[in-house]
Structures are given as C-alpha cells and as structure tokens.
A and B are shown apart, each in its own frame.
Chain A
Amino acid sequence: MNRKKVTVGISGLNAIDSPGPGMAVAMGLHEARSLDVRIIGLAYESLEPMIYIHDLVDKTYQLPYPSSGSDMILSRLEYIQEMEHLDVIVPNFDAELYSFMKIEPRLKRMGIRMFLPTMEQYEERHKVNLSKFGEKYDMLVPHGKAVFEPKEVFDVKSEFTFPLLVKGKWYDAYIAYNIEQVLTCFNKISAKWGLPVILQKFVYGSEYNVTGLGDGTGTTVAAVAMRKQYITDKGKAWAGISIDDTYLLELTRKFVCATKWRGGFELEMIKTQENKYYLLEINPRIPAWTYLAVGVGQNIPEALVRLALGMKVQPYETYDVGKLFIRYSKDMIVDREEFEKLSMTGEL
C-alpha cells in the first residue's frame, strides 16, 4: 500500500507510573499500514521519557502549560508549525484538551487538523456532570457530587456511605473511609488539580474499560473492551486482557450513537457481582493502554489521524479476544547534553 506521509504532533509523553497515552499513540502510528508518520513530541516537562526515545519521537518541542492560556500555546505552535509543518495534532492530556478545543479553528487555518470532541460533548461527560449524563443517556452512574470547599463535605456527607471515592477534576482518585480522610484527600487533590473535587459513591466490582473512536456522526469506528488484570496503587491498569463482552460493546455503541461522539475516548466501567455495569468516567481522549487495541487489530491512533485528515475510515468490526498487554518500566541512559539542550532551547 502507498502510505501517505504525515507529520503528527503528540503530547502525553510522560511514560511514567501514571502514564500519558503518547507512547501508545506513537507506537500505533508507527505501525499504521496506511500512513508513513513522522512524530513530533509536544512536552510540558523536561523529564518526560518519550522526549529521549528517538526511535519513537523524531523531534520534541516544549509547550507552555495549559494554565498559561491558549494564546501562549498558539504562539508556540505557530513557531513549531514553521519548523515542522504539522498535518495533525493528537492532544493526549485531559488538562490540555480544553485549550486545544478553543484554538482548533485557528490551528486549522495554520494547516493543523485535530479530531476532538465538541465543547458540548467535552463538558457533558465531565466528571462534575456525570450523574446528569447518566440520567440523560440511561446509563448507571454511581452517585456523585462536586464540592468546592471543605465545609461542603459536611453538608453532603449524608448522601454517601463509607468508603467513598474522592476524585480530582482531571486526575487522581482516593478511597476515603471516614470524614477525616475525605478532608485530607480534598486538600491534597484540590492543591494539585484545583476545584471542584468530586465525591463519588464507591462501587465494588471488577474494572472494565473500553477504548474507542467515534466519527462524530454516531458511528463507532473502533471499540475494544479490556479487563484490568493488574492495577497499580494509582488505579492504573498495568496489565489487561481483551475481552468479548457483548453488553459492554453494545453500551459503547449506544454511547457513541447517542452523543455522536467525535474523537477517541475511554469508558471506565465497573461490573458488580450482580452483573450491573456502572459508568465511572468517560475520558475524552485515547487512553494509555490503547496499544492493546492496536495489538488486537484496531489501530485507533491511525484511524483517528485519518479522520482528522478527512480520509475515509472503515469501521473496525472485530478484534482478537484473549490478548494481554503487560506494561513494564525501563531505565534509559541519556547524555546530559540532550537534557541540557531541551532545557535551554525548549527543543530536542
């Protein structure tokens, strides 16, 4: 097949214990049958490991933090575009998506395409709004409440039983067994990720996730279900297995169809002993374990880039069941000069 040459910018280069999806996206793009991809890394921190993995990332540029505002990001991307002529950007961090969605039209004028959820889709599925989302789309969601200050914890405590989950608006979730622990978690999470903090009913069961891609018209282009086999203390899947859970996949198609979801996503579900599925979260981007989807026959990063470029994409219908992903960590030896170059010039 004649592979189309494309230059793709990706973020989420932090292949750490709570990994960003950049590694999986880069690996998927390198294995794309229809695309010949040059990958430009977009990093926030100088120690994001993928910056130094040169067989996956051709060149990396540092970006200003999303909190610095979209104009700052845009100005930096203008410079990167002059140097690299990006065709597509795949943002992989929850915290940066809002900024990228805001500047999407301006990036398009610069020749950079993305394939992101709409602002409405992004807001509707937000952890803060998940209970309403569940009601609207007839999905079971554990009772949740957004709290903005510690005293509110006391106001809403009668709505919950212990243990309960305390979650950050972007990342982090802790189980709290009493009100003191809730307050400790509230302070810890709000200091790191800001407000609100979400309290959510704790549901016992096995964790199942689906990674998928919606084309924005209601069609599910890809969907792979996975059962977490090994979970880190941060709740991240360190190993998982592809499964053929027809109910879960049907639920996914229903979600994509009802919301006309545009872009990559991850559904985090929990299955109780009574075989009920609760939706814990919807992440509006490709998850870090998406390389399992690539490995079982659904190259979600490739399909997403094709959609961004306006190319035809045939929806995936099947995948291999019973394949595992097992994550591992590895030490790299990096010359100081590389670290110095990135730190001093913001590019490597």
Chain B
Amino acid sequence: MRYLPLTPDDRSQMLAVIGAPDIDALFVDVPAAARLPGPVDLPHVQGELEVERKLAGLARRNRTAGEGPFFCGAGAYRHQVPATADHLIQRSEFLTSYTPYQPEIAQGTLQVLYEFQTQVARLTGMEVANASLYDGSTATAEAVMMAARITRRTRAVLSPGLHPHYAATVRTMAEAAGLAVEALPLAVDGEADVLGALTADTACVVVQTPNLFGTATDVTKIGEAARAAGALMIVVTTEAVSFGLLKSPGSMGADIVAAEGQSIGNGLNYGGPYVGLFAVREKHLRQAPGRLCGETVDAEGRRGFVLTLSTREQHIRRDKATSNICTNSGLCALAFSIHMSLLGETGLRRLAELNHARARQLKAALETVPGVEVLTPRFFNEIAVRLPVNAAELVETLAGNGILAGVPVSRLAPAAGMDNILLLAATETTCDSDIQFLSRAMTKVLAP
C-alpha cells in the first residue's frame, strides 16, 4: 500500500504504547453486529500502472471537445487555459492546504482570495465580491435566498432567458425554504417580461445576460422598475468572458450578481468543479453567503489578510447563518485569478472580442444553411437557431460525423416546445475550418 507508511512492526509498537492487544480493541465501541469480518466485495489493491490503464480506458470512451468541431455552450464554455495556470494551481502549498483558518501560515491563499475578490468586484461592476461559491447555478439560488432575507418577501420571478438548470436549482432550494418561485416560459428575448410578473410580495427578479439563447440585454430599466416595486434585481451571467466586452451588471444597476466563472482558468470537466462568482452592494454585505477575505495588519504592523465577517457563517451562527456553505471552490478561484492576471484588461478585452468575432462568423455561416433561422438578436458568443428538424436528432447525427454541434434546448427543457431549437457557442478555440465543416455538414444533412 504505497500511500500507507506504517509497517507491521510500527503497528505492533504503537499498539503497545496504546496498551491495546490488537487493532480490533480500538473498534470496541462499534456494535458487534456491525463489524465487518473482512474487506467488502470490491477489487483489492492495485498499482499505478493498473489504475492508470483502467481510467485511461474510460477516458478514451469519451469524445473530447478538442478532438474536432465543437459548439457546445449553454453554461459551460471551452477556452484556452494557459499552461501556467494549471501548473501553478498544482503547487503543493496551494493544492494541499486547507481553508485558511490559521492566517499566519496561509497568507498565500488569503492574498489570492483578496485579489480574486477585487477582480470579481471590478469585472461585475459591484462593490463587494465573496471568495467564491460552488458554481453559477448555486450562486443564483443563494442570491434568491439572500434577496428574500433582505426584502423580507417570499417570491422570486425568474426570467424567460434564465438557464433551465439554474431555474431548477433555484426552485429546489427556494421552494424547500418556503419561497414561491415563478419561472416564466422560455423565450429568446424576454428578460423584461419579469416586470409583468412583479407583485407586492416579490423579493427579486432574476435576469440573465447573455441569456440561455445568447441574447445580451441592457437590464438597466428592469432593475429600476424592480426596485421601484421594492424588489431586487439579480443578474446572472454564465459566460464570464463576456464581462470583457459587455456592460457590467453593476453598471446596469444589479443588486446581486451571480455568475459562473468556469470560462476563465477552468476546463469543462464534464460540469464540475466550477467556480461561482458572487458580488453584492456593500449595504447588503451582512446578508451575503460564503467566505470573505479582508485586509488587516499583524502585530508588527505589516499588511496581512484574514477571513472576516465570519459571524454570517455556519461555523459561528449555526442555525442563523446566511448559508450552510463551508467548502467552496478555492482552487478553481485561484485558477480563475491566475488566468485573469495573465490576461489583464487588454487580454480579456481582446479575448472577448475574438469570441464575439467567432460567433459572428458562425452566425453568418449558419445563415447560409437552407432552412436554418438564427433567432438571437444581440449576442456575445452564443446563438440560438431554429432548425427544420428535431435539434436533438440532428445533434446525434452530426456527432456521428465527428461534430459536437451544440446543445438542443429540449435537452434542458423537454416540455418547452422548443424541440427544433439548437444553441451553438463559438469561442477563441473555434477555427474557420470548424465553422465551415459544421455548415457544410448541416447543409448536407438538412438537404431534402
């Protein structure tokens, strides 16, 4: 057992120091009927070679995004992550450290969190950001719960462009807590529809930009109307690279921003781990969930950082905490922060412009395919198209031709009546030839 340092000799010496006759004596408190006599029925110890062979075999049974034309988005995006970022997060002192509860020997992690919070606050245009949540969807659910605490109201309205899986995550958590959730029927360009559903007990409206269908929206007026009705506006973004090009949620009047940060620094990883970005107005800080890192000084007056305002959190406030979250996405936040530091403002801006350019190319190419109609009026790097056929079936057919053509809306919302609508994303990793290959293949498959 290569991970277990004790030798049989060590074990007997240690048992002697303890004064126990054998190992079973240390398990004496376990009810006899529950003591397993031997190993459970699973394979036994294996070497690195065998384990690697086994898992590499499983990995080979997956078609990777990098293998060929790839257009999937809908909340997870493929970007080029600098090798430096992945190397640095594997430094022992980052990878194998715990939550920075002893700040004197965790300044590395803490300073990174402080830098991360500053980056996220600036990207979102908000006053304060926390040290991360699990992902964009759980951040959205936390935002709804927070809005209910602030407004002491009990109802949330979700926009027609909110990612259906985000809506389901919100519903799961909020309804269990006794809140009412009204998710408006999916629509390509209907963020403002939330205003029609505002009532006197509405705690918040949740809007997404760019939304599920890729539509970018100036939500300023929605926020103004929501606040006039005593509700907060939560702005959701699933593609963090868009912050480099589009107006920030904060500048459009967001009260809370919940975003998915995976695009920056983190791979697709089949859906996790990702990193939830969460930013708020300073006046609502005390109601925010999750860890916060703050600046202070040490006994010699040197600048240092600590986790702070912990009285909001579960380990102190217990049943009165703002959230139950403990472990968050620290290492993914580090990857985000490193990638963002490498990009800088000029790099992020260029990256965002390239993404938009690729999506414009994609749109132009799809418009040449007979029977395909582009639905998204204003987009960042993702568009929705209406097909003359069932989108899921087309995706399956094209997968057989080596193309991952995107995400059918029916996969996310089977009952939405949008079986012919396909979501396609393009990023800086998308090549001219990928786009040509896709449009040609679609033309061929859709030919009558």
Q: Specify whether A and B are partners.
A: no
Interface residues of A (CB under 8 A from B): none
